[in-house]
Structure 1
């Protein structure tokens, strides 16, 4: 497994989770990658983030997904390096990436459920975050 060259930052954790939700259905779509790139380049939480770390986080997530307990390891890394104050941010970014292509598959829905559980998000807060993502990614009929 590729080890990060330095301890994970909270931003690394956010990026890893966005990559994980995109890769969860084994089909990383361009629109999802564009959503990740836009988040890293535009959101204040990533203001001082080295965007070259996105590649490192991608390799880490792909390596973890090849392992039997890789998802548990990813959640362990999140618990160790992501401050609780960013849990809702992490879930919101995950929902935005999942919704970016206009559809949610079973793998994405399962991973979002696991993220909610692992981050111990209040169900009402999670529902509001999900509704916001759905509203932002609606397409004209």
Structure 2
């Protein structure tokens, strides 16, 4: 990153960063994905005291990281450092919801979700249940 973050990201920042990263992973941020991110931040209890204005700052951080050679690795490092383990499955569920929001799950997004599962050490059975729930919620 060109400038070091002045303080660690909050757990909510980490969740937002992961949602933005999933949306940006296929280099095509769709409106449905942005609406899903905004909806999650507005509605979910984990974001109850979160300042919506931080979404733009966190998004810029993700985009800056994605421009660097080891940006994805750096992003996962930040998330592992600043996201409590109890929220790892929440993070994966939010990532799946954003990926499924537009009804299109491309190879790049699937690979990104696999990387999230690996980086956050999500049990395969739990991941399958989370994925199935996202699929069911976004069925047309």
Q: TM-score, normalised by structure 2?
A: 0.97
Pick closer, same or farther for the CA change 1:2–1:53 going to 2, 3 Å.
Answer: farther
RMSD of Structure 2 on Structure 1 (CA) = 0.9
Q: Which residue does 1:81 correspond to in 2?
A: 82
Q: Which residue does 1:22 correspond to in 2?
A: 23
Pick closer, same or farther for the CA change 1:3–1:58 going to 2, 3 Å.
Answer: farther
Q: How many residues align?
A: 139
Is residue 111 from structure 1 mapped to residue 98 from structure 2 by the alignment?
Answer: no
Q: Which residue does 1:61 correspond to in 2?
A: 62
- The Cα of 1:45 is off from its aligned counterpart by 0.2
Is residue 120 from structure 1 mapped to residue 130 from structure 2 by the alignment?
Answer: no
- The Cα of 1:57 is off from its aligned counterpart by 0.6
Following the alignment from structure 1 to structure 2, what is the Cα–Cα distance between the partners of residues 70 and 126? 24
Q: Which consecutive residues of structure 2, in runs of 5 or more, have no partner in the other structure?
A: none
Which consecutive segments of 4 or more residues in structure 1 shift more than 6 A? none
Q: TM-score, normalised by structure 1?
A: 0.96
Q: Which consecutive residues of structure 1, in runs of 5 or more, have no partner in the other structure?
A: none
Q: Is the partner of 2:102 in helix, strand or coil?
A: coil
Residues 51-94 of structure 1 deviation map (CA, whole Å, 9 limit, x = unaligned): 11100111000000000100000000011100000000000000
Following the alignment from structure 1 to structure 2, what is the Cα–Cα distance between the partners of residues 2 and 60? 10
